[in-house]
Structure 1
Amino acid sequence: MQIMTKFTILSVLSAALAITSGCATKRANTSEVVVAPMGIPGAAVYGSGGSLVQNTQQVVIASEQVRSTVYFAFDSSALDAQARAILDEQVNFLASIPTARVLIAGHTDKRGSREYNIALGERRAQAVKDYLAGKGVTTDRIETISYGEEDPDPVGDTEQDYALNRRAVLSY
């Protein structure tokens, strides 16, 4: 009887310990990447109609005449011919307004881990930045940010939705 009581107490304590410490796999303690800096003086938040760079209203309005979204293949940051054509329009626009500053936001679909998607979004934004810089746009006029999977447009689970979220968006 005494052995049974000790066994019961030990079982209850073991179960309580397992419940309080959690049974799920814990994430490694890694540093977090800031994907949407807030509180930049004078800047609106991207995604709410503004951007994280400052331009005159005239620049913002003029930028609406230029295509501003480039798309990527699955798990890729390589620019295809269509993306390069859009970026060439951006180069011409930036050359015509030397004071304009541009924000390049990298996005991914929701497949993959958050950390991987943040890194892939950053590679996409950086590929666009590198292309613009290679065409003569000075890098002090270009900011990049990665939203990873955090800002989907459209929201959905079809391959078409995924394809539309594999993008980099240039905003003024």
Structure 2
Amino acid sequence: MLTSKMTKAIVLALTASTLLATGCASKKPKSQVVVAPLGGGYGQGGYQGGSLVDNADAIRQAAQGLPNVVHFDFNSDAIKPQASAVLDRQAQFLLANQGAKVVVAGHTDERGTREYNMSLGERRAAAVRAYLAGKGVSASNVEIISFGEEQPVATGSNEASWSQNRRAELSY
């Protein structure tokens, strides 16, 4: 036989657990990054989520001459001094073309788990977005996507190949 105190304790416990379980469901995610599916590539038919940015042809043509790749050290999302020159030119272009939007795709080498590499690719793309925002570019004009290790530009299991693949690419 349950006493009134025991009944109240059970009801309180059930209410608390319900609030905890449903309270988390309404939280918004901290990141809006797009993650590439296994085995596919953006621009190569693998990513089917549609265009992340919609720029006029004039913007895409004007951006074609810009350097658009920055490289990272192993296991790092820190912007290297060499990358600053590339990103400064990108920031100048974006500030001069306020309506332009850019996609920053983060990439990694093949070492590490898929999950870790997706996360690292996201952090690299986010670091580029933060750098551009620090130069005055609106963060809403910079979309990020992570491909992790899925789109290597160099093959081989050596530092020369790995260093080529640790990158972020900007595209309009």
TM-score (norm 2): 0.72
- Partner of residue 171, structure 2: 171
TM-fit CA distance, 1:78: 0.5
Does the 8 A contact of 2:34 with 2:144 survive in 1?
no
Distance, in Å, in 1 between the alignment partners of 2:65 and 2:160 is: 25
Deviations for 1:34-56, whole angstroms, at most 9, x for unmatched residues?
6237xxxxxxx733399521111
* Structure 1, unaligned runs of 5 or more: 1-32, 38-44
Distance, in Å, in 2 between the alignment partners of 1:126 and 1:170 is: 12
Distance, in Å, in 2 between the alignment partners of 1:162 and 1:79 is: 17
Structure showing greater radius of gyration is 1
- The 1:64–1:134 alpha-carbon spacing in structure 2 relative to 1, beyond 3 Å, is same
Q: Which residue identity does 1:122 align to in structure 2?
A: E
1:129-144 superposed matches below 5 A = 129-144=129-144
- Partner of residue 56, structure 2: 56
- Partner of residue 43, structure 2: 47
Q: Which residue identity does 1:163 align to in structure 2?
A: S
Secondary structure of the 1:54 match is: coil
- Partner of residue 156, structure 2: 156
TM-fit CA distance, 1:57: 1.2
Q: Which residue identity does 2:107 align to in structure 1?
A: H
Q: Which residue identity does 1:91 align to in structure 2?
A: A
TM-score (norm 1): 0.72
Does the 8 A contact of 2:107 with 2:166 survive in 1?
yes
Q: How many residues align?
A: 133
TM-fit CA distance, 1:134: 0.8
Q: Which residue identity does 1:48 align to in structure 2?
A: Q
TM-fit CA distance, 1:95: 1.2
Q: Which residue identity does 1:66 align to in structure 2?
A: L
- Give the CA RMSD over aligned residues: 2.0
Does the 8 A contact of 1:55 with 1:100 survive in 2?
yes
Does the 8 A contact of 2:125 with 2:168 survive in 1?
yes
Secondary structure of the 1:62 match is: helix
Distance, in Å, in 1 between the alignment partners of 2:36 and 2:73 is: 24
Q: Which residue identity does 1:112 align to in structure 2?
A: G
- Partner of residue 121, structure 2: 121
Distance, in Å, in 2 between the alignment partners of 1:34 and 1:130 is: 17
Does the 8 A contact of 1:91 with 1:132 survive in 2?
yes
1:1-172 superposed matches below 5 A = 35-36=35-36, 46-48=42-44, 52-172=52-172
Does the 8 A contact of 2:105 with 2:168 survive in 1?
yes
Q: Which residue identity does 2:106 align to in structure 1?
A: G
Distance, in Å, in 2 between the alignment partners of 1:89 and 1:34 is: 25
Greater than 6 Å deviation, 4+ residue runs? none
